[in-house]
A and B are shown apart, each in its own frame.
Chain A
Amino acid sequence: MALHLELRPEPSRAMLFVAPMLAIALTVATGGVLFAALGFSPLPALKVFFLSPLGDLYGISELLLKATPLAIIAVALALGFRGNVWNIGAEGQLIMGAVASGGVALALYDVSGYWVLPVVLLAGVAGGALYAGIPAFLRIRFHANEILTSLMLNYVATLFLAWLVHGPWRSPEGYNFPESRMFTDSALMPVLLEGTRLHVGALLAPVVALIAWVILSRSFLGFQIKVIGMTPAAGSYAGFGPKRVIAFTLMFGGGMAGLAGAMEICGPIGQLVPTVSPGYGYTAIIAAFLGRLHPFGILLAALLLALTYIGGDAAQISLGVPLAVTQVFQGMILFFLLACDVLIRYRVRLAARPSLGGAA
Chain B
Amino acid sequence: MKMTRRTGLALVLAMATGLFGGMTAKAAEPLKVGFVYVGPIGDHGYSYQHDQGRLAVEKHFGDKVKTTYVENVAEGADAERVIRQLAAAGNDIIFTTSFGFMNPTAKVAKQFPKVKFEHATGYLRGPNLATYMARFYEGRYVAGIAAGRLTKSNKLGYIASFPIPEVVRGVNAFTLAARSVNPKAEVRVVWVNSWYDPGKEREAAEALMAQGVDVLAQHTDSAAPVQAAEEKGVWAIGQASDMSRFGPKSHLTAIVDDWSGYYIDRVQAVMDGTWKSTDTWHGFDADMVRLAPFNPATPADVKAEALSVEQQIKDHKLHPFTGPIKDQSGKEVVAAGKTVSDADLLKMNWFVEGVIGSMPK
Contact = CB atoms under 8 A, between A and B. Distances in A.
Interface of A: 55-56, 58, 62, 65-66, 159, 162-163, 166-167, 175-179, 182, 195, 197, 264, 267-271, 273-278, 309-310, 313-314, 316-318, 320, 323
Contacts of B82: 313, 317
Interface string B74-106: 111110111011101100000000011001000
Nearest to A324: B40
Nearest to B91: A317
Interface residues of B, number: 40
A317 B76 contact: no
A316 B80 contact: no
Nearest to A197: B80
Nearest to A53: B85
Contacts of B72: 323
A56 B34 CA distance: 21
Contacts of B84: 58
A271 B102 CA distance: 12
A268 B15 contact: no
Given A163-B361, A323-B40, A318 B76 contact: no
Interface of B: 15-18, 34, 40, 68-72, 74-78, 80-82, 84-86, 88-89, 99-100, 103, 111, 123, 162-165, 193, 346-349, 360-361
B346 A264 contact: no
A275 B76 contact: yes
A320 B89 CA distance: 13
A310 to B, nearest CB: 7
B81 A310 contact: yes
Nearest to B73: A313
Given A177-B165, A268-B80, A318-B15, A162 B193 contact: yes
B361 A175 contact: no
B147 to A, nearest CB: 26
A276 B78 CA distance: 10
Contacts of A163: 360-361
A282 to B, nearest CB: 13
Given A175-B123, A176-B348, A269 B76 contact: yes
B345 to A, nearest CB: 10
A311 B78 CA distance: 13
B164 A177 contact: yes
A56 B123 CA distance: 33
Nearest to A277: B76
Specify the main secondary structure of chain B where it touches its partner: mixed
Contacts of A159: 193
B18 A62 contact: no
Given A55-B16, A178-B164, A273-B76, A317 B347 contact: no
A264 B77 contact: yes
Contacts of B17: 56
A317 B68 contact: yes
Contact of A166 (B18, B81, B123, B360): B360
Nearest to B71: A323
A260 to B, nearest CB: 11
Contact of B69 (A175, A176, A195, A316): A316
A66 B76 CA distance: 12
Contacts of A318: 15, 68, 89
B361 A166 contact: yes
Given A58-B84, A268-B80, 8 more contacts: A55-B16, A58-B18, A66-B81, A175-B123, A182-B103, A274-B100, A316-B69, A317-B86
A351 B157 CA distance: 69
A320 B165 contact: no
A276 B76 contact: yes
Contact of A268 (B77, B100, B123): B77
Contacts of B348: 176
- Sorted nearest first, the 9 A-B pairs with minimum C-beta distance are A278-B74, A268-B77, A175-B347, A167-B361, A176-B349, A176-B347, A316-B70, A275-B76, A176-B165
Contacts of B16: 55-56
Contact of A177 (B70, B88, B99, B361): B99
23 contacts: A55-B16, A65-B81, A66-B77, A66-B81, A163-B360, A163-B361, A166-B361, A178-B163, A197-B81, A264-B76, A267-B77, A274-B162, A275-B74, A278-B74, A278-B78, A313-B85, A314-B85, A316-B70, A316-B71, A317-B34, A318-B68, A323-B70, A323-B72
